[in-house]
A and B are shown apart, each in its own frame.
Chain A
Amino acid sequence: DVKVTQSSRYLVKRTGEKVFLECVQDMDHENMFWYRQDPGLGLRLIYFSYDVKMKEKGDIPEGYSVSREKKERFSLILESASTNQTSMYLCASEPGQASNQPQHFGDGTRLSIL
């Protein structure tokens, strides 16, 4: 079974801090994704990556950056955390578009910015 592991289930940070959310997958997947999920807004794509050191902006990239130095790890960075970034963050991976396989999700990180 594919395992997507997010480093923290719950995280509390202060406004202005630099925050790192880590995600690791163990199935050698090419593509990785970061979403945030908010009540009434659903899941929205922040950034995705289709290869090591490659990244593309999703629908709401403002205030975020990402890093993919190794194939199995995809990090989401909040450069200067703000209260409107309080949310549930979900990481996902998939083998690659040509495989037509489903995305596999981690359990999520519930982030609170005070």
Chain B
Amino acid sequence: KQEVTQIPAALSVPEGENLVLNCSFTDSAIYNLQWFRQDPGKGLTSLLLIQSSQREQTSGRLNASLDKSSGRSTLYIAASQPGDSATYLCAVGAPSGNTGKLIFGQGTTLQVKP
């Protein structure tokens, strides 16, 4: 059974720091890996999707990498800002019939202090 783990559970950094969030998964047979952001009391916003054949994806100050063989993904945030404060969730897409079921980690709650 696929399990997804995110470490650390919480992180507090000063503004301007570069930081890395970690995600690990137990079964390398994945369809894709997705990173989401969740603000308090809100739904999830998609940040990046890495297909199983890809190694990384970039969007602005965000870069996500994928290493299927070791079961790891990282989300790199450059020059962090207070507006980046949120919970970041990674999810692994596991093929299931006609849909890609997502299995989520528990998230990393990030606080960026001004």
Binding site for B on A (CB under 8 A): 4, 30-31, 33, 40-43, 45, 48, 50-51, 56, 58, 90, 92, 94, 96-97, 100-108, 110
Q: Is the CB of A97 within 8 A of B104?
A: no
Q: A97-B31, A104-B46, A107-B42 are in contact. Are A50 and B98 (CB under 8 A)?
A: yes
A75 to chain B, nearest CB (A): 17
With both beta carbons as reference points, the residue of chain B lying nearest to A31 in the complex is identified as B99
Residue numbers in B under 8 Å from A96 (CB-CB) = 98-99
Q: Is the CB of A102 within 8 A of B49?
A: yes
With both beta carbons as reference points, the residue of chain A lying nearest to B45 in the complex is identified as A105
Q: Is the CB of B101 within 8 A of A107?
A: no
Alpha-carbon distance A107/B51, docked complex (angstroms): 26
Residue numbers in B under 8 Å from A40 (CB-CB) = 106
Say which size band chain B's interface belongs to. Answer: 20 to 34
Additional A-B contact list (18), CB under 8 Å, known A45-B102, A97-B98, A108-B42: A4-B43, A30-B98, A31-B100, A33-B99, A41-B106, A42-B104, A43-B89, A43-B104, A48-B99, A50-B98, A56-B97, A97-B31, A97-B99, A102-B49, A103-B46, A103-B102, A104-B46, A105-B43
Considering only residues 2-57 of chain B, those with a C-beta below 8 Å from chain A are: 31-32, 34, 36, 41-46, 49, 51
Residue numbers in A under 8 Å from B104 (CB-CB) = 42-43
Residue numbers in A under 8 Å from B34 (CB-CB) = 102-103
What string of 1s and 0s marks CB contacts (under 8 Å) between B66-110 and chain A?
Answer: 000000000000000000000001010001111111101111000
